[in-house]
Amino acid sequence: MPVKGRIVVDDVFCKGCELCASVCPQKVIQMAPERITAKGYHPAELFKDGCTGCAVCAVICPEAAITVYREAPRARVAAEA
Ligand code: SF4
Ligand code: SF4
């Protein structure tokens, strides 16, 4: 199964520059069309499934506005002897 991830964007810092959306290999980020931040920008958001938690978006963001969460692989339980 592919690794699942998600991002949380801090609207206080996001300036809607679209850099994160442009580099996301899964193309799952958009600028929220119906939300506007206090500074007047459409903030980035996940708009569909498919995020792998690769963190490319967080690395490129000039405002460090993105936090990435990645689903931890389920621990393997050894079979009882
Ligand atoms: S790169 Fe950062 S500042 Fe630019 S749109 Fe994405 S989250 Fe917002
Ligand atoms: S963590 Fe990777 S896949 Fe998920 S939104 Fe960011 S760039 Fe796209």
Look up the CATH number of the domain holding residue 60: 3.30.70.20
Residue 76 resides in a domain: no
pTM above threshold 0.95? no
Q: What's the DSSP call for residue 76?
A: P
Number of domains, the chain? 1
Residue 77 resides in a domain: no
Among all bound ligands, the one having the nearest atom to the CA of 56 is 2
- Would you place residue 2 in the very low, low, confident or very high pLDDT band (cuts 50, 70, 90)? confident
Can you read off the two tokens belonging to residue 50?
């498919």
Residue 80 resides in a domain: no
**Ligand 1 centre and the CA of 44: distance in Å?**
6
pLDDT tens column, 38-79:
999 999 999 999 999 999 999 999 999 999 999 877 666 665
Which residue of 7, 17, 27 sits with most ligand 1 atoms within 8 Å of its CB, as the best mutation to test the pocket?
Answer: 17
Residue 48 resides in a domain: yes
**Ligand 1 centre and the CA of 48: distance in Å?**
17
Using CA atoms, how far residue 80 sits from 11, 27, 61, 77, in Å, is 49, 43, 47, 9
Residue 39 resides in a domain: yes
**Contact residues for 55 (Cβ-Cβ < 8 A; gap 6+):** 68
Domain that holds residue 35: 5-70
Residue 51 resides in a domain: yes
Q: How far apart are the first and last CA of the chain?
A: 28
